[in-house]
Amino acid sequence: MTVLLAALVRIVPVAADSDDSRIFLDGTAARINASVILESDIRIEIALMRQLAAAEGRPMPSPERDIILNGLVERELLLVEARKFITRTVTGEEIAGIRAELDRRYGGPEQRQAVLESLHLDATFWDQRMRNQILIDKYIDQRVAQFIRITGRDEDRYINAHAVELGLDAAEDPAAAVPEDHALRRIVNELLKQQAINARRTELIQELRASAQIDIIPGHAGAADPPESAGGQ
């Protein structure tokens, strides 16, 4: 949830369902060129992570402000670039697809709506977040994914290097024991492609960081640690 530099400070309730009646004095966490990330953006990100972890029944690690802020900075850098290169409008069908996945992960539309209400956000928050993510995904696909090709030799090297894990260590030549049309090769190909995409994505972010004006403002104690109730615990 990035805003222009004009909105530097605002008052934000801690959580709608919290007994804690304190208010949170919002402020700037980072400046990226002409945009800012607010302390409340970090708190919202943590609350969403907690709610999702609770919905999926997995533990939520203690949030680290610097790590979460770094992720928000990277998202902003990618989003700005995506808006330059992706001219096609995000379709309603694409939004519906992501919304359905969110509903599944959060346990249904009612639970997803409850997350918004606990954070004093409206439905437009999800819509904008989904649109932004679709733009970033399209950008990564056009600038990175479409140029990556995994060859049969790449698959062979992986299969031979991981023969024990794949249960092929008894074969004299593990890669030769796996036919070209075998499902294992498709899995290995997709794994290697995703690894290559992630590596190139990291390089791309480093390039964007090098050409951007980024100022990180140290946070005050507890700024990025909303109460547990904000995350649906």
Residue 203's CB: how many other CB atoms inside 10 A? 11
**Do 65 and 42 contact (CB within 8 A), yes or no?**
yes
The pTM of this model reads 0.77
Q: What are the tokens at 163?
A: 């023969």
Residue 7 confidence (pLDDT) = 35
Alpha helix locations (H) across 4-122? 39-55, 65-85, 92-106, 109-118
Domains within the chain, CATH numbers bracketed: 3-143+200-231 (1.10.4030.10)
Question: 94-128: per-residue pLDDT in tens?
Answer: 989 988 998 898 888 888 888 888 888 888 888 89
